[in-house]
Amino acid sequence: MKKIYKWGIPVLATLFVVAGVSAFTFQGTPEELKDIQGQESNLGGGFSTTYINTALDETSASSTSSSINIDGADRITLAFTVADVTGSGLATSTFAVEVSVDDVNYVTYNKLIDNVINTNAQDLTRVASVAIDSNSTKLYSMDLTSDNFMFMRITDVIIGTTTASVTAQALIEN
């Protein structure tokens, strides 16, 4: 493990080489990750970075996350979690993703790819929102082969007689 110093602050970095394939992991803030992207390395090209953004962190009321910069993202996987529901159907949490090209005007992203079983003959299942009414986590992906956005945010609406605790995380790879 090698310490890299940026702005006088030690940042954790690790370089793995297995069977001739190099992988670089970096732990830092999204701003620090954005700063090193595209820089040349001795790995044969620019850095690829992956980080987790916890957009909603155990909130118990309907809410909207702050904007998340996804400029240049190759892949985004979303994990929506509902906890602290005392019984199925007592509270429903509905998650949605909104996207923007200017961080001002947001529209609902209608192509979240659902993590469901499809046969080879079926197309991927795409949805605009995700409703969860029990303690569970559901995974979704964004189709960034056809789309390109600068920003996204996650909304959550909680309806029911009990207060649930909700978390929304985005695994972003650039």
CA dist., res. 44 & res. 151, Å (int): 29
* Alpha-carbon separation of residue 115 from 31, 47, 79, 80, 118 (angstroms): 30, 29, 11, 12, 9
Q: Are 70 and 51 in contact (CB under 8 A)?
A: no
Q: What are 64's strand-pairing partners? A: 155
Q: Are 45 and 135 in contact (CB under 8 A)?
A: no
CA dist., res. 120 & res. 129, Å (int): 24
Domains, the chain: 2-48 (no CATH), 51-173 (2.60.120.380)
pLDDT one digit per residue (tens) for the chain, 174 residues: 344 434 444 444 444 434 444 445 555 555 665 555 555 444 445 567 888 999 999 988 899 999 999 999 999 999 999 988 876 667 789 999 999 999 999 999 999 999 888 777 778 888 999 999 888 999 999 988 888 999 999 999 988 766 678 999 999 998
pTM: 0.72
